[in-house]
Amino acid sequence: MELTFECPECRAVGRVKNADSATEFVCQSCQYKRQAKAGSVTPEGVCHCPYCGTEKLYIQKDFPQGLGVTIVVAGFAWATYYWYYVRPLAAYAVLMGSALLDLILWKKVSDVAMCYRCLGQMRGPDVKPLGRFEPFDLEVGETFRQERMRVAELKERQTQSVKH
């Protein structure tokens, strides 16, 4: 299983190819080390994040959102061109074509397990989410976002108190 994570110290993005068997994760930029959480992958699939240990994970498609929005906007613009020249069949064909392209990409692209706490991304053929991880839940995501904000604020206060 491949893990993509963000270093909590320098904010650099790191990748580990065999995260399920790693004992520690090291940032390539600042050499920050974090112990891997053991037992994150069982034969049934992922049970918790190997980077931070939380069991709160969600599933999403491993597809760049910007590309998806570009496909939709391009289809809309092209269809608008045909509507302007009163060619409704061509406009409908473009809209159906962009919807079909979106459906094909949705079927072909694999899932990625995402961690709410550290925003780590777990990819690979052995990422089987045990059926208990749902798509993104805004309430849970906001809870963890608030937690990240509080931790950052505490770190900033500590660095300010050290300076004074």
* String of DSSP letters for 92-144: HHHHHHHHHHHHHHHHHSPEEEEETTT--EEESTT--BTTTPPSP-HHHHHHH
Q: What is the mean pLDDT of the chain?
A: 89
**Which residues, in sequence order, are CB contacts of 76 under 8 Å at separation 6+?**
95, 98
Residue pointed to by tokens 């809870």: 143
Over the stretch 24-80, which tens digit does the pLDDT of each residue have?
999 999 999 999 988 888 877 788 899 998 999 998 888 888 888 898 899 999 999
Average pLDDT of the segment spanning 82-89? 95
Confidence grade of residue 84 (pLDDT, cut at 50, 70, 90): very high
* Cα–Cα distance, 81 to 96 (Å, whole number): 15
Whether the Cβ atoms of residue 140 and residue 116 lie closer than 8 Å to each other: yes
| Among 44-53, 75-84, 119-128, 135-144, the least confident range | 119-128
* Cα–Cα distance, 48 to 29 (Å, whole number): 26
Average pLDDT of the segment spanning 81-103? 94
Confidence grade of residue 131 (pLDDT, cut at 50, 70, 90): low
pLDDT of residue 46: 83
Task: Compare 116 and 124 and report the one with higher pLDDT.
Answer: 116
